[in-house]
Structure 1
Amino acid sequence: MGMFERWLTAWVALAMVAGLFLGVIAPDLIEAIAAAEVASINLVVAVLIWAMVFPMMVGVDFGSVKDIAKQPRGLLITLSVNWLIKPFTMAALAVVFFEHVFAPLIEPEDAEQYIAGLILLGAAPCTAMVFVWSQLTRGDETYTLVQVSVNDLIMIVAFAPIVALLLGVTEIQVPWETLVLATLLYVALPLLAGFLTRKRLGNDERIAEFTAQIKPWSMVGLIATVVILFGLQGNVILDRPLVIALIAVPILIQSYGIFALGYAAAFALKVPHRIAAPCALIGTSNFFELAVAVAISLFGLNSGAALATVVGVLVEVPVMLSLVAFANRTRDHFKGA
């Protein structure tokens, strides 16, 4: 794990502070960035999101999908958790907390936005950081690549319908055109660009070298996006800092609950630990880059939905590191540890 990945929570926290400061001293700059939109897509953020997403898409080798048959149980757990369980439990938790438990503390229109942001997080399974978690648990790298590749293929066709369904269930208006456009822009096109780049580079050594060169831009894109988001959200956060903690509560419950479900299923099905740990961690982690991008596209840079997705970034890294530690401590209980 590189310096940026290891200290991602700290960098995000510093970016949040920098954004708040920038929003106070240069509000016109932040508003100018927010105004740079075409078809509900913010151009500045679109560039930053591509900087985040493209390096990880170059690392996806769809040729590895043929290896699925070697260990179908691990993939079955991952896909079941990611697409049949996780989006719906996240939506349920969001509704329970923001329409009921936290209702006295949150205005209804704000609660609706936070619910939408949490739905976007829950419907976007992790792509890039999974490789970090897999490495830290001595996971099977090839199989992790298979899981990520299959997830990405499913995401192209499943993300938009699931999000639309859940937003509709919670009575949030769904701008279908923007949702589909955002899915194409931030999932399908980066995947295609990554595939074409891999094909042009030709071999694993050149691909690895190229990925290492562009990977820092992924973190730059993330940090810059967080700065912009918190610059726009500055007044809300300074007036109501409690909102960050409130948004974190359902995310924490979801993260630990989903990991427990996936890990227990892998244990029950006698999946080897080198596959069991990554498959549980994939279901727990989120593709927060996509969630942030779509939240901005659907609801705007200064929306509560965008804020909720950024809180997901802040919470994720310490949670995932604690789960990595747990997985490593329980390795000996699994078959093929």
Structure 2
Amino acid sequence: MAPTDSGESAPRIAVVERMSTLERLLPVWIGVAVAAGLLLGRGVPGLDTWLNSVQFDGISVPIALGLLVMMYPVLAKVRYDRLDTVTGDRKLLVSSLVLNWVVGPALMFALAWLFLPDLPEYRTGLIIVGLARCIAMVIVWNDLACGDREAAAVLVALNSIFQVVMFAVLGWFYLSVLPGWLGLEQATISTSPWQIAKSVLIFLGIPLAAGYLSRRLGERAKGRHWYETQFLPRVGPWALYGLLFTVVILFALQGAQITSRPMDVIRIAIPLLAYFTIMWGGGYLLGAVLGLGYERTTTLAFTAAGNNFELAIAVAIATYGATSGQALAGVVGPLIEVPVLVALVYVALLLRKKFRDPHTVAPATERPNP
């Protein structure tokens, strides 16, 4: 990683200073959202039951609304005419597939057995979390860290395809076959290709289609300059509004369980903290070694570290029940992931000056901040 010279860095210096107040204080807002969710979950009788009842075909409507609002602005910023520059990057694509579908599930399996050998329900829940690769929040983390938006869109789409094909197969392998080979306790998983495809279609398909149509129709009607300088700055902040809303809902749904079983939450949190840190650090190191440049290294790291918590929770509830330990482990997943990956956004921005980026996809004037 060679330091970037002053000429190259001029358009991109002082990234944190150029952030809006909402972005600079995001950890504070996340903390407020967490506290608000916990207070609502504990202080409003029956709120968690009501939120759980607002579903459509097994999908939580409040969580779906938050995720869709969160993802749309970022996907509206993607330059879809540049996706071919990503699909030709074999090092990036192969690295992402290996990290997400070989390293990630194996690492979570190892951490679950290492830290929770005496708690089979939580252990199984964590393994399910490790199998559900992220197709939602990673878009926001990548954008906040100034990663490659086009690369993120391609890798998330690739993960979604593999998720439909491989989730059930890997669930069977890591919960039943591998433990049997190792002489460990076996478990089962119950899911269907439609359940997984439904998650992909809702949480990726809808905002991706909306983002693509926004750019195509907006540029056709008023031109790229208007779209980049007028439209995107208006919709950009909604990504973080959607994120904060989703955090409030998640903690409100599980506030009672979290506060009534604090030691269980801590035990689940320890392997999750190790998992997110190792996956992000491993992805970042691999990208740096391969010379992917800052933007694509950042994208590789965040797509490797994130998980599709909505799918993991849905599978755990469908298989073991809403009050099961497996479901609680699935819920704790995003509660640890959100603050950890927010912190890693700032770590990535601090590391940015170490890179000479060979994949600068657009000058700063064409890439307004969210």
TM-score (norm 2): 0.72
Match of 2:341 among 316, 325, 329: 316
Q: What is the SS of the residue equivalent to 1:126?
A: helix
Alignment match, 2:197: 180
Provide structure 2 residue ranges, at least 5 long, that are not aligned to the other structure: 1-18, 176-186, 360-370
Alignment partners' CA distance in 1, 2:96 and 2:205: 21
Residue pairs, 1:65-214, within 5 angstroms: 65-68=83-86, 72-98=90-116, 100=117, 103=118, 106=119, 108-120=120-132, 126-134=138-146, 144-168=148-172, 169-170=174-175, 171-176=187-192, 177-202=194-219, 203-208=223-228, 209-214=230-235
Matched AA of 1:310: L
Say whether 1:254 aligns with 2:275.
yes
Residue pairs, 1:222-301, within 5 angstroms: 222-269=243-290, 271=291, 273-274=293-294, 277-286=297-306, 291-299=308-316
Matched length: 317
Residue pairs, 1:2-13, within 5 angstroms: 2-13=20-31
Matched AA of 1:126: V
Matched AA of 1:61: R
Runs of 4+ in 1 over 6 A off after TM superposition: 122-125
Alignment partners' CA distance in 1, 2:38 and 2:130: 22
Alignment match, 2:13: none
Residue 55 to residue 151, structure 1, CA distance change in 2 (3 Å): same
Deviation at 1:186, TM superposition (A): 0.8
Percent identity among equivalent residues?
22
Contact 1:86 1:122 survives alignment (8 Å): no
Alignment match, 1:36: 54
Contact 2:108 2:275 survives alignment (8 Å): yes
Deviation at 1:224, TM superposition (A): 2.3
Provide structure 1 residue ranges, at least 5 long, that are not aligned to the other structure: 136-143
Please give the per-residue CA displacement for 1:57-99, whole angstroms capped at 9, x wherever unaligned.
212233212224876544543444344433442344234333x
Please give the per-residue CA displacement for 1:185-235, whole angstroms capped at 9, x wherever unaligned.
111222122211211111433433333322333223222222222223222
Alignment match, 2:11: none
Deviation at 1:151, TM superposition (A): 0.7
Contact 2:34 2:247 survives alignment (8 Å): yes
Contact 1:75 1:147 survives alignment (8 Å): no
Contact 1:19 1:230 survives alignment (8 Å): yes
Deviation at 1:130, TM superposition (A): 1.3
Contact 1:40 1:298 survives alignment (8 Å): no
Residue 175 to residue 31, structure 1, CA distance change in 2 (3 Å): same
Deviation at 1:148, TM superposition (A): 1.4
Matched AA of 2:211: G
Alignment partners' CA distance in 1, 2:349 and 2:113: 29
Alignment partners' CA distance in 2, 1:69 and 1:38: 35
Q: CA RMSD in A?
A: 3.3
Say whether 1:15 aligns with 2:40.
no
Q: Which has the larger radius of gyration?
A: 2
Alignment partners' CA distance in 1, 2:241 and 2:294: 31
Alignment partners' CA distance in 1, 2:337 and 2:200: 19
Alignment match, 1:140: none
